[in-house]
Structure 1
């Protein structure tokens, strides 16, 4: 059986963040309601200036998704990785269930427009 990681002391940084995360999310939605331009700007792919010959398109959605997945991976205890190596069928099932290369950013570029009635 998998056991959850031991609880952290109440004075840790994660406890501080958990107490404030709900309010921070609510505040971000309220800000987006009144000032939507930064969020709309993040929806599009941008190329940071890396020189005249280098063109590297960067999209915020795959970057934020990779940050969330990386953060979630840090919560996995190292001893649990041994379970994955002993039973790789769970890992293979997850890879089969999620087709496409997540590193390539296979997220929809645009939402299809609704047909006009």
Structure 2
């Protein structure tokens, strides 16, 4: 789950382009289901959300390094003001799952430092 807010300077055309890029990313083989659209009732002020269902950690690794995903991020991130990224929920009750997912994000950041530099400042604290 990714919740986000567009920059105030993002035009309607740019917003539609971002949502289209997110939908392309959400359609890669490692994703079981997805939705992209408005975020309803968020007390933190996030206006939009991106949610993908991914079956397991190997599928998540494939998703994170999929060429479609890697190509989409540079089209998306410049238009976002801030983001909050999950994991927010899982039916996998493994106690270490959140840490395992974080390790995959850290692995990606180490492999793609330019991605990490652009992504990091957007994270909501």
Q: TM-score range by the shorter chain?
A: under 0.3
TM-score when normalising by structure 2: 0.23
**Relative to total residues, which structure has the larger strand share, 1 or 2?**
2
Higher relative contact order, chain-length normalized (CA < 8 Å, sep 6+): 2
TM-score (norm: length of structure 1)? 0.24
Q: Which has the larger radius of gyration?
A: 1
Structure ranking higher in helix proportion: 1
